[in-house]
Amino acid sequence: MDYSAAKFWFDVVQTAFMAFVSVYVWWTTRTRATKAAIDRVDDRVTGHETRLLLIEQHAKHIPGHEDLGAIHNRVDQVGQGVRTLEGEMKQINHTLHLIQQHLLENGK
């Protein structure tokens, strides 16, 4: 039996097998996430979760449709009150102007 030929073919088979195993390991682990990558994603998710909780808490205090209607009615009432005060102030100004005219004409 030729041992040098058998050793040669054994080395060829062993090299081919090692190449196959190397390609197989590379192929199966190329998409596997590392612990560091998972930690980075987990930190980002935690940050987003915190921000979402804050938004939800603030959204609870936002007035709804009925609340906005009540606010609108109240603003209208305040506007009507301001118009009433404006009219009264014009009347007061007119009365004071008449008093001043009377005092100026009678003072002569």
H/E stretch holding 10: helix 3-29
Residue 95 in any domain: the answer is yes
> Is the CB of residue 51 less than 8 Å from the CB of residue 43?
no
Residue 5 in any domain: the answer is no
Residue type present at position 69? G
Output the pLDDT for position 32: 73
Residues, the chain: 108
Output the pLDDT for position 108: 60
Divide the 108 residues of the chain into consecutive groups of 10 and give the mean pLDDT of each group.
87 96 88 77 89 92 90 95 95 95 83
Q: For residues 68 and 50, what is the distance between their CA atoms, to the nearest angstrom? A: 29
Domain that holds residue 87: 65-108
Output the pLDDT for position 37: 79
Q: For residues 79 and 73, what is the distance between their CA atoms, to the nearest angstrom? A: 10
Residue 4 in any domain: the answer is no
Residue 24 in any domain: the answer is no
